[in-house]
Chains A and B, each alone.
Chain A
Amino acid sequence: MKTILVVGNGMVGYKFCEKFVAKEESKQFKLIVFGEEPRPAYDRVHLSEFFENQDAKALEMAPAEWYSENGIELIVDERVADIDRTNKTITTAKDREFFYDHLVLATGSSAFVPPIKGVEKEGVFVYRTIEDLEGMLAYAAKLKAQNPNAKAAVLGGGLLGLEAGKAVMDMGLEPHIVEFAPKLMPRQLDSRSSQVLQLKLESIGLNIHLSKATNQILGDDGYITGMEFGEDDVLDVDMLVVSAGIRPRDELGKNSGLEVGVRGGIVVDNKMQTSDSNIYAIGEIALYNHMIYGLVAPGYDMAGVAVDQIIGKTETLMPSEIDMSTKLKLIGVDVASFGEPFMPAAKGHSIIFENKTQHLYKRINVSLDGKELLGGILVGDASDYSMLHQIYLNGMPIPEDASQLILPASEGSAFGSAMDLPDDAVICSCEAVTKGDVCCSVLDDGNETMKDVAKATKATTGCGGCKPMVADLIKESLKTLGKTVKERLCEHFDYSRQELFDLAKLKGITDYDTLLDEVGTGNGCEVCKPAVAAIFASLYNETANRQETIQDTNDRYLANIQRNGTYSVVPRVAGGEITPKQLMAIGRIAQKYDLYTKITGGQRIDMFGAKLNELPLIWEELIEEGFETGQAYGKSLRTVKSCVGSTWCRYGMDESVSFAVEIENRYKGIRSPHKFKGGVSGCIRECAEARGKDFGFIAVEGGWNVYVGGNGGATPKHALLLAEKVDKETAIKYVDRFIMFYIKTAQPLQRTAPWLEKLEGGITYLQNVVINDSLGIVKDLDDEMQALVDSYVCEWKEAVETPEIRERYTHFVNSEETDSNIEYVALRDQKMPKEWA
């Protein structure tokens, strides 16, 4: 049995293992992998996500067990120190020796630290590994404890540098990006797109300094206090992250006499072989075509070539031209470039669309005869990237007026269907899956869902950017089989939510089991149960108390479950208006039960850390003080945020607080496909951020403007104007109908913004339905809404007054004890759940 040693367990090293075990021939080899980091390979591309959850496991390419299950010996935390090419052995830093038949170097790269004076000071970091991030986090926490306005700079405005900028921003430090070149992302963007990106990044709080050459790092006591760029040009910072490029980790190759490039990197041929035919190099240490490819997709291709070469499929070679196209989401901003992004005028023409007010830039480069797409750049909106990239890769014909390819969608789309692509078009570049692979998986192998196709082909399992295209291909392929793609709730109900809503209403069905027996199959699941519960709630305004086991846990226990399995409690504070007496009551109760308190974004007070058994006791006291449930746990109305309005504000046009209180009390308790929120502003200064809500009212001269379909969250969207200058009663009526129409027709867990986006005809259609009664349903909508408003009960009052419901609030059914696993640590005079060790 021959032995393969892989040195380096990064993304590419891992991909080698994955591709290797997929081959039948792999059984004839023994594979040992060495990693210098303490953990198995993780997804470095998404490193900045570590800041959001600090969950290193979530980034893992595969858990440690995966290696042993596949017969691979994984040795972590042990650096390979030396290669003896004559005896074909390697020696590790722990002085252990291993023999090889084939050696694969996948040691990747390290951060390049330029030789600037003072760079060794404390507080200067590189951005490469989870350990680097942990070091930054600890330092940032220390800084913030001393100075809440601490600043951090990132040296380097390239792709990684901007990611690092996001990371320090997430740490609560004032972020600064310092770039030597006169533009951001100099390798991918032209000057104009770079300016658009800069505007966008500045608007979200990044400070950007271009054309700055750092002379030295300042700081007298061994730690960094600033950066000096030139005479009298100094930036005060408390921390610095160096992200000035990468250097291949080619020391092993160099020391053992392999051929290396002048500026580093181990020279390989198109078999990924180095100057020693038993040694391969892949990923960011491989110097191929005089280039280091710092992208993951070419690295994966190299891994595939090396696997095939080793097992004897020597016809697999690396292509001579490597596609360097990239698309990424940088701090929430789409940035993409493909083909030839900057093009000399002699080769072709560029078509440029720029809209700085929307932070949009699109450029495509076409051949001189206008027939071929050569490359391009997209900033702000890269939704057309997949299609443009495919047209470029496959040399597909482009419209006579190529500008149609990038004009805003309202001008009509110039793209055909994804089905027009040739079969060998690569759809998923991370996993090299072609259109043909996806279609065959549906047509020949009978896979019908995204999940099954992903499992069979691996498409979408990398960066996930190809998901929309794969979904289209599946849908279209199923169509050719004569199968329609139905929106179905789950395997138990062959209906969409809207159909199920109508069925339940028509048949007058009021409980889940009956609905499942009559129109569904099987025994249900966690998808259909809460969806059906929400339908019943909308039809009959039934609280979550009656059918508690079909509710999501938050609804079942009428509270929000938190990280450690305890719950949070939020009483309703309509419009954010609260009396001193009520404030004291909340304070007293929170103190009594030792709860962590925080003001929410919806102008109310959240109390965290209540144990299950404490919930009825807490609510009993709150209800006694005149509070009712805030439904913060429900897919239902949350809050109606308001500014103080004309009652106090010198600019106010109308009484926004009174309106907010009235409207919040009107819609409280109404359950819907997803949560929904409202806002009321007393003038166009819009302090209540009503346009960032599902519905909003803004007082103007002569009445109220009504907005619908906005939200914050992951995909922020401003609400659209539904009606202008209407009186309060009319404004309420329109929003009543809008909400009811949404409740009846949306999909489960679809908020109003995406619902409105999907609604054919958009806002104009909605105006016709709710204002002009184009469907003849406004009377029904009005009656249904009034029925919901009239049947409101506080479900917590119901719960504390009903002994059978109260009994549910116990951790054990056979013991009075509570969960002993809940532990707390101190946090700024309060407490927080202890991290799991």
Chain B
Amino acid sequence: MSLSVLNTYESVAANNVKVWFKAAPISKFPKNGGACIKYKDKQIAVFNFTREGTWYACQNLCPHKMEMVLSRGMIGEENMEPKVACPLHKNTFSLKSGENLNGSLDAIATYPVKIESDFVYVGFSE
């Protein structure tokens, strides 16, 4: 794996979605936790933040050691900012902006999510 993998992940804004990818039924995602979906060559972590009543999606790749693990991390919040903690070294990232909250790692890419008829859709620009 090389840097080129990391570069394939770029945040998509809600108003920039060209494809709403029908990922999986909501029952596949644990409450207040995450699971990983595959879209083309991308691995996307999708989180069902039940306590907030919100869904989030981001790249599954942690930019620290370049492993595909973020979907297995715990989610939570810090000063009202929803976040995910990487299971490997507990680096935390905002689920909204993708920013690294407890260090100076690169931000991760985040993606919009919508729910329709009990199905989870993730928005992509291509």
Contact = CB atoms under 8 A, between A and B. Distances in A.
Contacts of B79: 491
B36 A811 contact: yes
A807 B69 CA distance: 17
A814 B43 CA distance: 11
B32 interface: yes
A812 B78 contact: no
Contact of A813 (B28, B32, B72, B88): B28
Interface string B90-103: 10100000000000
B76 A563 contact: no
Contact of B73 (A66, A553, A837): A553
A529 B75 CA distance: 9
Nearest to A60: B104
Interface stretch (B9-17, B60-68, B108-116): B60-68
A565 B68 contact: yes
A75 interface: no
B89 to A, nearest CB: 10
Interface residues of B, number: 41
A686 B43 CA distance: 51
Nearest to A522: B77
B37 A525 contact: no
B33 A814 contact: no
Interface string A519-561: 0001111101110000000000000000011111100110001
A528 B82 CA distance: 15
Interface in B35-54: 35-38, 43, 49, 51-52
A410 B69 CA distance: 48
A549 B38 contact: no
B2 A837 contact: yes
Contacts of B37: 812-815
A526 B49 CA distance: 14
A564 interface: yes
A530 B87 CA distance: 12
Contacts of B78: 491, 525
A170 interface: no
A556 B51 contact: no
Contact of A550 (B72, B73, B74, B104): B74
A524 B23 contact: no
Interface stretch (A76-84, A176-184, A817-825): A817-825
A468 interface: no
State which size class the interface on A falls in. Answer: 35 or more
Contact of A63 (B1, B83, B90, B104): B104
A552 B74 contact: yes
Nearest to B46: A813
A563 B87 contact: no
Contacts of B65: 563, 836
A492 B78 CA distance: 9
A808 B30 CA distance: 9
Among B36, B37, B52, B90, the one with the most A-chain Cβ atoms within 10 Å of its Cβ is: B36
Contact of A526 (B24, B51, B67, B92): B92
Contacts of A837: 1-2
Contacts of B104: 62-63, 66
A513 interface: yes
Interface string A487-527: 00001100000000000000000000100100000111110
Contacts of B38: 812, 814-815, 817
A549 B43 contact: no
Nearest to A833: B67
A815 B39 CA distance: 10
Contacts of B74: 525-526, 529-530, 549-553
A449 B43 CA distance: 37
Interface of A: 62-63, 66, 491-492, 513, 516, 522-526, 528-530, 548-553, 556-557, 561, 563-565, 808, 811-815, 817, 819, 821, 823, 836-837
Q: Which 4 A-B pairs have the closest CB atoms?
A: A525-B76, A549-B33, A553-B87, A526-B85
Given A492-B76, A550-B32, A813-B36, 13 more contacts: A516-B51, A523-B51, A526-B92, A529-B74, A553-B73, A553-B74, A556-B72, A561-B88, A564-B67, A813-B24, A814-B23, A815-B38, A837-B1
